[in-house]
Structure 1
Amino acid sequence: MSEERVIAATTTATSERGIEVSKVLRQTYLLLGMTLAFSAAMTAVAVSVGAQPINWIVSLVVMIGLLFALQAKRNSVMALPLVFAFTGWMGWSLGPMVAMVLGSAGGSGILFNATAGTAIIFFALSAYAVTTGRDFSFLRGFLMTGLIVCLLAMVAAFFMNMPALHLAISGALILLASGFILFDTSNIVNGGETNYVMATVSLYINIYMLFSNLLAIMGVMGSDD
């Protein structure tokens, strides 16, 4: 009898966990869609008013500050306003780059291809992680190491005028963003992240990194045609 109770309790716990994971996933994808739409709207506004590129130090300070605020207020009523402030800022910061691409030959096609490529990669990888339920936590060390290497390379690229290095960094960041999509989605599926606001922020950053670097590479390739 006790064994039956253990089995019943385990089954109930598994079922409850599955329901909770499904709830977090639904809330995450709903909020992600809303923040992506808001971010895109801010990018469009920045393009329409001719916003100038933001100093990278200022942009980084604001971004990190908002991320720290989000982490601190993740379980409070301030979490939602902060996530929209963060994604809105990121969208606005992307405006000058999008404007530059649109001003080039075939710019609208490049923008469409980058957007479509981002959507295809994200949905394919995210769907794979959700449907298989595979644990991709083993990627953590590789992804963090790769991110540090890319950051160091970006610092080097800032002082050296080497177009090939910029392209290599963008290519590496696309691979890293893809890996982070698998990692972060599986983290939600396997119960590692139960806060849908922070899960949204993680996936948004992955999509932003994927899109901006696809746009950078396609923009360079398009300008060579």
Structure 2
Amino acid sequence: MNNPTVHTARHEASIEVNKVLRNTYSLLALTLAFSAIVAGITSMMNLPYPGILITLLGFYGLLFAVHKTADSGLGLVFTFALTGFMGYTLGPILNAVVASGGADIIMLAMGGTAAIFFALSAYVLTTKKDMSFLGGMMMAGFVVIIVAFVANLFLQLPALGLAISAIFILFSSGAILMQTSAIVNGGERNYIRATITLFVSIYNILLSLINILMALTRE
């Protein structure tokens, strides 16, 4: 005999999951569009790249602000501030790629990024698998990325740069799987935090694909 209370609870949980998914993907679409517009403006105005220090400070500072205010309306303000800032940093990079004859590479990288995101999202949404087991590997991957990134600041090895890009793609793909799984299985109820995780993952995959394709083209 079915328990009406259990049935009601499951129905309410399903409604909540669908609501978070809808809000997350709606906000993600808006932030991607906003970031693309900022990147386009930055590119057309030929504005300079802010530099690694300002980029890191701006990114982590705004990311911290997003997470601190994610439960309030101010979280949306910082979400667009962060994604707009990331769009600004993307503009000069795209200009440099186009200047070196890599316009086709940008389109290919954008297509590859979209394919990766939709494939991973569709897999989790279809199977509803719990991807929390990836947590340990994600932490290890993060440590490897930080160590390799710092090392490459001094060594400037092309092969190490490619390895970092490849690891970034794997790490960001894992983040997409884990975040989508957390929403589907009820572990994430804040669509602002979910959106930022997905946005940053997409951004990292795009830049990593551009870097890899540029290196392959030069070879």
Q: Please give the root-mean-square deviation of Cα atoms over the aligned residues, in Å.
A: 1.1
- Please tell me whether residue 39 in structure 1 is matched to residue 38 in structure 2: no
Q: What's the counterpart of residue 157 of structure 1?
A: 152
Q: Deviations over 1:80-106 (max 9, x none)?
A: 11100000001111111111111112x
1:59 Cα deviation after fit: 1.1
The residue type equivalent to 1:143 in the other structure is M
Report SS of the residue matched to 2:49: coil
Q: Determine what percentage of the aligned residue pairs are the same residue.
A: 44
Superposition map of 1:55-134 within 5 A: 55-105=51-101, 107-134=102-129
User: Which has more radius of gyration?
Assistant: 1
Q: 1:55-101, CA deviations, whole angstroms, 9 ceiling, x for partnerless residues? A: 21111111111111111111112111110000000111111111111
Structure 2 CA distance for aligned equivalents of residues 70 and 96 of structure 1: 25
The equivalent position to 2:175 in structure 1, one of 173, 180, 183, is 180
TM-score with structure 2 setting the length: 0.97
- Partner SS, residue 4 of structure 2: helix
Deviation >2 Å, runs of 4+:
none
Aligned counterpart, 2:17: 21
- Which residue pairs with 2:200 in the alignment? 205
> Distance between the aligned counterparts of 1:44 and 1:194, measured in 2?
33
Consecutive unaligned residues of structure 1, counting only runs of 5 or more, are none
Task: Note the C-alpha offset of 1:161.
Answer: 2.3
Q: 2:188 maps to which residue? A: 193
Letter matched to residue 190 of structure 1: N
Q: Would you say the 8 A contact 1:104–1:223 is kept in 2? A: no
For 1:114 and 1:25, the matched residues in 2 are separated by 26
Per the TM alignment, residue 223 of structure 1 is displaced from its structure 2 partner at its CA by 2.7
User: What SS does the aligned partner of 1:197 have?
Assistant: helix
With normalisation by structure 1, the TM-score equals: 0.94
For the residue of structure 1 that corresponds to 2:47, the secondary structure is: coil
Measure, in 2, the Cα distance between the counterparts of 1:173 and 1:200. Answer: 18
Between the aligned partners of 1:96 and 1:164, the Cα distance in structure 2 is 23
